[in-house]
Amino acid sequence: MNAAASRTDDSTAELVRRCGDGDGRAWQRLVDRYGALVWSIVTRAGITREDGEDVFQNTWTIAFEELPRLRESERFGAWIAMVARHQVLRVRRGYGISRRARERIAVPDAVEEPPDEEIEALDDRRLVWEAFPRIGEPCGALLKALYYEQPTPAYVEISKRFGMKIGSIGPTRARCLKKLERELAGGGPDGR
Burial class for 149, CB neighbours closer than 10 Å (0-12, 13-18, 19+): exposed
pLDDT in tens, 166-177: 899 889 999 999
Buried b / exposed e across 85-123, counting CB within 10 Å, b at 16+?
bebbeebbeebeeeeeeeeeeebeeebeebeeeebeebe
Q: Helix-strand-coil percent breakdown of the chain, rounded to 5?
A: 75, 0, 25
- Does pTM surpass 0.85? no
List the one residue out of 83, 64, 80 whose CA is nearest residue 26.
64
Question: Which structural domains are found in the chain, ordered by start?
Answer: 1-114 (1.10.1740.10), 115-192 (1.10.10)
- pLDDT by residue for the chain (192 residues), tens only, comes to 344 434 445 788 899 889 888 888 999 999 999 988 898 888 888 888 888 899 999 999 998 888 888 888 888 888 998 899 889 888 877 765 544 444 444 444 444 555 667 777 777 777 887 888 889 888 988 988 888 877 888 889 989 999 999 899 889 999 999 999 998 887 656 655
Backbone angles phi, psi at 44, to 5 degrees: -85, -5
